[in-house]
Amino acid sequence: MVHPKQPPEKGDRSPTGEDAAIQRIGMHLKSRFGGPPPGEIWSGDDAAVVSLPGVAGGHASLLLTTDAVVAGVHIDLAVVGLADVGWKALTVAISDIAAMGGTPAHALVAVGAPPGTDLDEIAAGIGEAAEHWCCPVVGGDLTSASEVMVSVAVTGSLEGPAHAVLRSGARPGDALYVTGRLGASAAGLRLLRDGPASVPALDETERAALELAHRRPRARLAEGLAAREAGATAMMDISDGLGIDLDRLVRASGVGFVLDEVPVAPGATPEEARSGGEDYELLIAAPDDGSLPDRFGVVGLRPPHRIGVCTADGGERRLGDGALEATGYEHRF
Amino acid sequence: MVHPKQPPEKGDRSPTGEDAAIQRIGMHLKSRFGGPPPGEIWSGDDAAVVSLPGVAGGHASLLLTTDAVVAGVHIDLAVVGLADVGWKALTVAISDIAAMGGTPAHALVAVGAPPGTDLDEIAAGIGEAAEHWCCPVVGGDLTSASEVMVSVAVTGSLEGPAHAVLRSGARPGDALYVTGRLGASAAGLRLLRDGPASVPALDETERAALELAHRRPRARLAEGLAAREAGATAMMDISDGLGIDLDRLVRASGVGFVLDEVPVAPGATPEEARSGGEDYELLIAAPDDGSLPDRFGVVGLRPPHRIGVCTADGGERRLGDGALEATGYEHRF
């Protein structure tokens, strides 16, 4: 069993890491087809963008994404329930659709579980999330396995004429935003494991919110849609930690960054905010003219946090007077 | 670890079985949305049929299906390789598309694996299958896990005007066909485990074919398409065994059956043919006027095996002078 939520291995982006493995495997798979046809995006972003099969000459696009949640790796069943596993598995896949500016359409769920597992509890959590995010589960598979794992695939659509917001479009001078304070999920896990004494400054309501942030992450669908409408140039969800995810975004875009601050969730440490991961807030690059916060205001969303700007130096990784390291959660292989 | 390929538990369709669990979970999930809109099929068939998101007023349908393959459950890594796991995971999902009469479009793959697993070998098998079945992998997820598991979601389309072929359309008097002799996968696994002495009647070429049937199953895409074109009334793929899968088809259709014979693959036992599973041949109900074999002949396919007929008595389960029990592989929970 892999230890849940291993401490991030700082600055280490070795060939055994997740990104390296994904890139290598992606090459394997793409090379057989000579890469995607024009207008399609295959692996490398939050979701794939493909043309709709069977729609001749149409401009309609389909978003496709998949995520797997494994007990003992993504979820510590000692402190969260099976319904939370179900909720989380669906929500993190829907978060990938949000990160393209899309709207989820349908979900498929494959569940693996040892004999004796309360499948109804997993299904209840999946069902709550499906209803909450308006994304019906239309099919699935159920199999024996030695540990609980829930794998979800979600389709999505793009409303209106604008394209999906990729990771690769940020330009020097663009402002960088996050849709909420960070570190809440990591701090929530700490609270669930170590008890209230680990977050002495928080009252009961705040502690409950922190636990919920870990157990029941949110997909920022309205924010993703608003960002696309406001002309965001790049977007992704923060699943593995701001450090590692921002590194991915600026590498894809060929820019650097200078951050003024990283907004820290109540109860979280600055380290948790920088590299805790699993907050599923959106990281957005947009023209620095106020259009993004304006749009968020118009549609009634919490204002986004402006955390810094993109710069022309692709090697720049500045946070205040120091550096933001590309740390966060990477699976090891 | 679940023992690979447990002997089927005969006649036992208990509430802890796979079908019961799937039905219960399906109710959980469907009830929140009041069931599918008109024209859509959600869980309960080989694949879901949904309207294409974002295509207003169109009749275009999207097929969606997911399957998970878990080492130690579906695959015995002592006798087959990681590339076979990859091939099989993609192929069995594509087989679900074949069983609707559809054409695969895009695949998503989630891989879980312990540290040290040769991910490139898994990817090579996935890539070979993707190329073979013309179904590019456009996205994926990679995660640590304590055992190797590959979860695949596939989208598909329906060419031409005809509808998807469901499990539920068989009528009394329809002929029942299978697209090939059965039991080859189970016999191939036996050969791989017990050696050539376990299949004394076969020569080296036949043994190689039998091993391949287990390691590299085929998706019967051309057969599924031809069956739909020929007016097949019901269809599914034989994944868990003819006994259990035919029981599922006739239950869905509200008919019974009388079988003359079950065609047995060279080297397989009659028991393996009846309940071995994993052959992924298609089971088809069609008007008993020869139109299905005619169509197969026109498009150059091997003739299907006519195994019997559907009857009006929903309780009838006859094979020759005896009964065909609803046995096959069911996951236990």
**Does domain A175-323 fall into CATH 3.90.650.10?**
yes
A228 or A332: which leads in pLDDT? A228
- Which residue has tokens 């600026």? A250
Q: Where in chain B is the domain with CATH 3.30.1330.10?
A: 59-163
Return the residue in B73, B92, B137, B148 with the most chain A beta carbons within 10 A, the one to mutate for interface testing.
Answer: B137
Interface pTM, i.e. ipTM: 0.91
**What distances in angstroms separate CA A323 from CA A11, A256, A261, A282, A313, one per listed residue?**
11, 12, 11, 21, 14
Cβ–Cβ contact B24 with A under 8 A = yes
Tokens matching residue A46: 């939050």
Round to whole Å and give the CA distance between B279 and B217.
7
Q: What angle do CA A128, A132, A134 make, to 5 degrees?
A: 115
The pLDDT of residue B56: 53
Q: Taking CB atoms and an 8 Å cutoff, what residues of chain A touch B124?
A: 28
Residues making up chain B, counted from first to last = 333
The pLDDT of residue A283: 98
Return the SS3 of A228: helix
Separation in Å, CA of A223 to nearest CA in chain B: 20
B11 or A182: which leads in pLDDT? A182
Return the SS3 of A140: strand
CB nearest A48 (choices: B103, B124, B138): B138
Average pLDDT, chain A: 91
A332 or A111: which leads in pLDDT? A111
The pLDDT of residue A35: 86
How would residue A54 be classed by pLDDT, with cut points 50, 70 and 90?
Answer: low
Q: Where in chain B is the domain with CATH 3.90.650.10?
A: 175-323
CB within 8 Å: A43 and B139: yes
The pLDDT of residue A23: 80
Q: Where in chain A is the domain with CATH 3.30.1330.10?
A: 60-163
Segment-wise mean pLDDT, segments of 10 residues, chain B, 333 residues: 38 61 80 86 92 63 95 90 97 98 96 94 96 96 94 93 91 98 97 95 96 97 97 97 97 98 96 95 98 98 98 97 88 72
CB within 8 Å: B146 and A116: no
Round to whole Å and give the CA distance between A203 and B208.
68
The pLDDT of residue B27: 78
CB nearest B145 (choices: A28, A70, A127): A70
Given a cut of 80, whether residue A6 has pLDDT beyond it is: no
Fold of B59-163: 60s Ribosomal Protein L30; Chain: A; (3.30.1330)
CB nearest B119 (choices: A21, A70, A119): A21
User: Which amino acid belongs to residue A330?
Assistant: E
Is A304 within 8 Å of A177 (Cβ atoms)? yes
The pLDDT of residue A14: 53
CB within 8 Å: A153 and B50: no
The pLDDT of residue A7: 39
CATH code of A60-163, in short, is 3.30.1330.10
Cβ–Cβ contact A48 with B under 8 A = yes
The pLDDT of residue A53: 64
Round to whole Å and give the CA distance between B209 and B164.
32
Q: What angle do CA B141, B239, B320 make, to 5 degrees?
A: 175
Residue B16 CA from chain centroid, whole number: 22
Round to whole Å and give the CA distance between A205 and B145.
35
Is A174 within 8 Å of A309 (Cβ atoms)? yes
Tokens matching residue B105: 């479009």
How would residue A34 be classed by pLDDT, with cut points 50, 70 and 90?
Answer: confident
The pLDDT of residue B51: 86
Cβ–Cβ contact B52 with A under 8 A = yes
Round to whole Å and give the CA distance between B246 and B238.
8
DSSP assignment of B290-323 equals SHHHHHHHHTTPPPPEEEEEEES-TT-EEETTEE
Segment among A23-27, A43-47, B95-99 with least mean pLDDT: A23-27
CB nearest A66 (choices: B126, B139, B158): B139
Nearest residue in B to A140, CA atom: B66
CB within 8 Å: A50 and B109: no
Max Cα distance, chain A (Å): 61
Return the SS3 of A88: helix
Taking one residue from A and the other from B, the number of pairs with CB-CB distance under 8 angstroms is 276
> Which whole number is the average pLDDT over A132-136?
96
Task: Please list, residue by residue across A217-235, b when 16 or more beta carbons sit within 10 angstroms of its beta carbon and e when fewer do.
Answer: bbbbbebbbbbbbbebbbb
Q: Taking CB atoms and an 8 Å cutoff, what residues of chain B touch A60?
A: 52, 54-55
Q: What's the pLDDT tens digit per position in A261-296?
A: 999 999 999 999 999 999 999 999 999 999 999 999
Tokens matching residue B297: 């002949």
Is B82 within 8 Å of B70 (Cβ atoms)? no
How would residue A57 be classed by pLDDT, with cut points 50, 70 and 90?
Answer: low
User: Which amino acid belongs to residue B216?
Assistant: R
Q: Hey, CA dihedral for A154, A155, A160, A163, is it positive or negative?
A: positive
